[in-house]
Amino acid sequence: GIQVEQSPPDLILQEGANSTLRCNFSDSVNNLQWFHQNPWGQLINLFYIPSGTKQNGRLSATTVATERYSLLYISSSQTTDSGVYFCAVRTNAGKSTFGDGTTLTVKP
């Protein structure tokens, strides 16, 4: 099956810093989403981005489907950004595959 690798596995930042999270996938996909899992376990949808670039406030994402990677940018990080960020892909077969996530800790 498709492999999804996220890097880095862990990231510690000071409040106000910027960061880039990466997601590599091993095969063509027609669906890619980024999620934030908060400390209470809730999975929050950030972006649906199978290709191209999107921005939502301090967050933006870019997927280069031909090169099989996606990037999530967090600017001016806040303590509330802490949590685990997951990349999830789906192929035409309909099965979703999640990466292992990047655990982000933002310190005040």
Partner 1 sequence: DSGVTQTPKHLITATGQRVTLRCSPRSGDLSVYWYQQSLDQGLQFLIQYYNGEERAKGNILERFSAQQFPDLHSELNLSSLELGDSALYFCASSVATETAQETQYFGPGTRLLVL
Q: Does 83 bind partner 1 (CB under 8 A)?
A: no
| Three-state secondary-structure class, residue 73 | strand
Q: Does 51 bind partner 1 (CB under 8 A)?
A: no
Q: Looking at beta carbons only, is 5 or 17 nearer to partner 1?
A: 5
Rg (CA), the chain: 13
Q: Looking at beta carbons only, is 60 or 97 nearer to partner 1?
A: 97
Q: How far apart are CA 55 and CA 88, in angstroms?
A: 18
Token pair belonging to 4: 């999804």
Give me the residues that bind partner 1 (CB under 8 A), please: 30-31, 33, 35, 41-45, 48, 50, 86, 88, 90-98, 100-101
